[in-house]
Amino acid sequence: MRPEQPGTRGSAPQASILHVDMDAFFLSVELLERPELRGTSCLVAFDSGRSVVLSASYEARARGISSAMPLSRARAIDPGVIVIEPRHDLYRQYSQRVMEIFGSFTPLVEPLSVDEAFLDVGGAAKIFGTPLQIARLIRGRITSELGLTASVGVASSKFVAKVASTQSKPDGLFFVPPERTEEFLRPLPAHALWGVGGKSRETLERAGLRHIADVADADPRLLKRLLGEHGPRLQLLARGIDPRPVTPEREEKSLSADRTFAEDLSSLEEARTALLDIAHRLGARLRSQGVSGRGISVKIRWSDFTQLQRSRMLEHPSDAGKVIFDAALRLAAPVIEEMLPAQRGIRLLSIRVDHLAPTGHGQQFDMLQHEEHLRDAEGAMDAVRAKFGSQAITVAGILDSGQAAARSLPEDGDFSA
Ligand SMILES: [Mg+2]
């Protein structure tokens, strides 16, 4: 027996990671609208000379057709195969609904493509049950709400969850208890390991390392000689050790909002009013995306088009307009007081929030409570805006002295960060 890797069992990892993968996604969406094709050999591909198969029915797969295969080859295998032109807009709509289902169980969703994602459901136990129960709920909702099927792998790491979902396809569920992770991995081919393809696969095979078990048991020095720095990491993976967390990917790394004024601002008070408005718009956008940010930057563009920027980090991430405003004003006020007399006017003000993360992460409990009343109040404003439009409600400070905002041209824009 080889020595046990420290940390693999002693720390009792939880199997809280799900890999959810829709079955033959494009094709299954098409079959919803063409039920008469169910049970036939069909595929989705552009019907042109050099196109490839994007998605194939399980009947077509049974005959040897697979995704990424040239269409000409698929036709050679099965001359009767039915070819459906892809409709990516339609798939995107379904993808969005699938991701919404995921997001209703946990904010920790890491999409890998339009039809698959990792979920960490460890924090959802109190509301929805064990990861296995949640996997069943998700599969049930995908079927009842969308008429589609998904396969789910449940494991204690991303890598193992992904392998498990692949093993369960189609329309399956595969649970790998943490203590059986190695037992599950060992008989699989070495190229099932992440990062093993093409050249490294050949290298491993030439050294006689054909299965994950061979890589797990290999002399670390041999692996290092064969694959360099990649070798030791691969061995950890082969032993089921994959500490990478599920990291929700956000399209935006930062969010910003700005205003260009029809008439240059000429006082700190006007600038204050404009910043208040910008900060609250930004807060609403952060909340609508479920993210909070720690980095705050303010950009001031003067009448002569020169500009400057000031940044600071908040002590805790926030999605509250009030907190963003306070930080922005603290950055801008000294600069404006000092430079406005010489610069004469402010042409544009902008606030950017970066270091975004899902709200609640990295935030301490007391801070969350402290901000809760702000969130409640501003969340109520979001609801009114969602119902009646963005002009329906505004903060009291702007109503009090609203000239600056009233004659400004609103402009939303994102810095490329
Ligand atoms: Mg898929």
245, part of any domain: no
Residue that is last in its domain, among 238, 265, 281: 238
Res. 249: pLDDT tops 70 = no
- One domain, residues 228 and 309: no
Which of the residue ranges 26-40, 55-69, 325-339, 354-368 would you say has the lowest mean pLDDT? Answer: 354-368
Asked whether residue 9 is assigned to any structural domain, the reply reads no
pLDDT at 374 over 80: no
The pLDDT of residue 392 is: 45
Structural domain for 338, as ranges: 255-412
Distance 168 CA to ligand 1 centre (A): 12
Final residue belonging to a domain, choices 131, 160, 177: 177
pLDDT band, residue 384 (cuts 50/70/90): low
Q: How confident is the model at residue 315 (pLDDT cuts 50, 70, 90)?
A: confident
Give phi and psi for 311, each to the nearest 5.
-130, 155
pLDDT score at 401: 37
The rounded percent of the chain whose pLDDT value lies above 90 is: 58
If asked whether residues 48 and 165 sit together in one domain, one would say: yes
Q: Are residues 168 and 196 in the same domain?
A: no
Question: Are 25 and 91 contacting, i.e. CB atoms less than 8 angstroms apart?
Answer: yes
pLDDT interval class at 402 (50, 70, 90): very low
208 Cα to the center of ligand 1, angstroms: 32
pLDDT band at 387 (very low <50, low <70, confident <90, very high): low
Nearest to 182 by CA among 236, 126, 256: 236
Both 197 and 282 in one domain: the answer is no
Same domain? For 219 and 139 the reply is: no
pLDDT at 400 over 60: no
User: pLDDT at residue 361 above 60?
Assistant: no
Q: Which residues surround ligand 1, an ion (CB under 5 A)?
A: 21-22, 25, 115
Query: What is residue 89's predicted lDDT score, i.e. its pLDDT?
Result: 81
What average pLDDT is seen over the chain? 84
357 pLDDT band, cuts 50/70/90, is: confident
23 CA distance to ligand 1 centroid (A)? 5
pLDDT, tens only, 149-207? 999 999 999 999 999 999 999 999 999 999 999 999 999 999 999 878 778 889 999 99
What pLDDT, on a 0 to 100 scale, did the predictor assign at position 391?
Answer: 46
Q: How far apart are CA 224 and CA 206, in angstroms?
A: 15
Distance 149 CA to ligand 1 centre (A): 10
Span 72-86, average pLDDT = 95
Q: What is residue 126's predicted lDDT score, i.e. its pLDDT? A: 86
Q: Is residue 8 part of a domain?
A: no
Computed from CA positions of residues 66, 71, 75, 77, in that sequence, does the dihedral angle turn out positive or negative? Answer: negative
In a domain, 151, yes or no: yes
What's 30's domain CATH number? Answer: 3.30.70.270
Q: Does some domain include residue 246?
A: no
**Is pLDDT at 403 greater than 50 in this prediction?**
no
Query: 165 and 208 share a domain?
Result: no
Report whether pLDDT(368) > 60.
no
53, 69, 92, 164, 168 from 66: Cα distances, Å:
7, 6, 22, 20, 17
Q: Are 234 and 367 contained in the same domain?
A: no
Q: Is the pLDDT of residue 253 over 90?
A: no
Window from 23-27, 219-223, 302-306 with minimum mean pLDDT: 302-306
pLDDT for 229 equals 83
**pLDDT score of 239:** 94
Q: How far, in Å, CA of 191 to CA of 197, rounded? A: 6
**CB atoms near residue 32 (< 10 Å):** 13
Between β-strands 109-113 and 82-84, what pairing exists: parallel, antiparallel or unpaired? unpaired
The model's pTM is 0.59
Considering the domain architecture, whether residues 233 and 197 belong to the same structural domain is answered as: yes
Query: Does pLDDT of 251 surpass 60?
Result: no
Among the listed ranges 103-107, 310-314, 369-373, which one has the minimum average pLDDT value?
A: 369-373
Task: Give the domain CATH number at 337.
Answer: 3.30.1490.100
More confident residue, 230 or 372: 230
pLDDT of residue 358: 74
Side-chain half-sphere exposure of 40, counting CA atoms within 13 A? 17
Cβ atoms 353, 280 nearer than 8 A: no
**116 in catalytic set:** yes
Determine the average pLDDT of the residues in 261-271: 92
* Better pLDDT: 398 or 280: 280
pLDDT at res. 404: 35
Distance 187 CA to ligand 1 centre (A): 24
Could you identify the residue written with the tokens 């950017």? 352
Ligand 1 center from residue 145 Cα (angstroms):
18
382 lies in the same domain as 405: yes
CATH number at residue 210: 1.10.150.20
d(CA 271, CA 345): 10
What is the C-alpha separation between 56 and 281, in angstroms, rounded?
A: 45
Residues 133 and 198 in one domain: no
Instruction: Report the sign of the C-alpha dihedral through residues 53, 58, 61, 63, in that order.
Output: negative
The one catalytic residue among 33, 100, 110, 116: 116
Supply φ then ψ for residue 373, to 5 degrees.
-70, -35
Between 329 and 13, the more confident residue is 329
User: Does residue 18 carry a pLDDT above 90?
Assistant: yes
Residue 85 lies in a domain: yes
Domain shared by 157 and 228, yes or no:
no
pLDDT of residue 137: 96
Shared-domain flag, residues 171 and 225: no
Residue 367 maps to a domain = yes
Rounded Cα gap, residues 273 and 397, in angstroms: 7
In a domain, 114, yes or no: yes
Confidence of residue 270 (pLDDT cuts 50, 70, 90): very high
Give residue 351 CA to ligand 1 midpoint distance, Å: 40
CA of 172 to the centre of ligand 1 (A): 12
Give the total number of structural domains in the chain: 3
Judge whether residue 9 has pLDDT over 80: no
Q: What is the pLDDT of residue 113?
A: 82
Residues ≥6 apart with Cβ < 8 Å to 65? 41, 43, 53, 56, 74, 77, 78, 81
pLDDT score at 197: 77
Is the pLDDT at 267 greater than 80, yes or no?
yes
